[in-house]
Amino acid sequence: MKKIDWYILRTFTVTFFFVLLLFTIIGIVIDISEKTDDFVKSGLTTKQIITQYYYGFVPRIGAMLFPLWVFIAAIFFTSKMAGRSEVIAILASGTSYNRFLRPYLVGGLLFASMLWLMQRYIVPRANEIYSVFQVTYIDKFSTYNSLLPQFNTTYKKIDSLSYVGVNSFDSSRKASTGVFSLHRIKDNRLVYNLRAESIRWDTTNRSNKWVLTNAVERTFNGLEETVSFYPSKTMNFNFTPVDLRLDEYAKDKLSTPELKQFIRREEMRGTEGINAMKVELYKRDATPFAVIILALIGGIVASRKVRGGSGMHLAIGIVAAAAFVLLDRFSTIFSTKSNFPPLIAAWLPNIIFTGVAFFFYRRAPK
């Protein structure tokens, strides 16, 4: 790394954080204008809204648009360099074009590493804060209809023989206000039944302990039936609170190790429709790689000095960014709604834009 490398890398970094701050502020302003009524209905103070919502919203939107901000930053500052003929001077000094792109590769690797770590541990925690507020205050106001009955019933297969059902499970309190039931079926015959008025996760114990209230346990052996009653019964099940709630934000709230474990557990149970989980898992590695590709494309496209200056470069950048986002969304939808392989869906935009980067590289004046 020489002086010119540090100059490009420093300018790249400063421009990126300027773009990050600018668009984050714009995003917050737009979000406030859309959710003002919901904030008023929630009855929360400004401090509570900031800590219970925007502490989650800002990292979430930041990670979501991180590659595009890197792309815009690369185009913006490189276009300024090209407009001042700095790129021409660098190449005229004998520096090869590949050598000129080295700080873009280093910057892309640094930003990609930052995003990779964020998506594994920091962003899931932010998504948890965001989703709790969204479910409690936003979705409730937008989806509730007093003329329709409101149900929250979950049925799941927990192993090869057992099925559980729970009514009105609250994932924030980790307890149900409705009936819990467990059925064990062997050779097409019911051999065990457990029913309780409510179930609660034992937070004082690290193992999978659940506390059942007013439980009735029935064991069937041919025509014989054994019945037991328990005012309170503690049992160890192979499921956790996250398994008992149909939570559309579940995949976003789990750290990468937790998400991998969740997917393995659901595959063992034979659960269908887990492609969304797999796409999310693979995208946590694919999206940081996209940062590197977009950083290089931004440097290659904007290094050419053209009439129109930054305006022309930014126009090309916006079109390319829109194409990347659309391709990413289409591949994700095809995987979650059909049998398109999740791994290919997550990496398809990167594969195509690697070809785009090579096309621009071949056409770039060197």
pTM of the model: 0.75
Q: What is the pLDDT of residue 147?
A: 39
Q: Are residue 134 and residue 157 in the same domain, yes or no?
A: no
Chain Cα centroid distance, residue 216: 40
In contact, 252 and 61? CB cutoff 8 Å: no
Q: What is the pLDDT of residue 311?
A: 67
Q: Are residue 36 and residue 139 in the same domain, yes or no?
A: yes
Q: Are residue 131 and residue 157 in the same domain, yes or no?
A: no
- Those residues of the chain that have pLDDT short of 50 are 142-151
Q: Are residue 163 and residue 101 in the same domain, yes or no?
A: no
Q: Give the separation between CA 14 and CA 235, rounded to whole angstroms.
A: 55
Q: Assign 204 to helix, strand or coil.
A: coil
Closest to 293 in 3D by CA, of 365, 204, 360 = 360
Look up the domain containing 74 and give its range: 3-143+273-363
* Residue where the block lists tokens 């979430």: 60
Q: Are residue 134 and residue 277 in the same domain, yes or no?
A: yes
In contact, 331 and 155? CB cutoff 8 Å: no
Tokens standing for 180?
A: 């819990």
Q: What is the pLDDT of residue 146?
A: 39
Domain assignment of residue 265, yes or no:
no
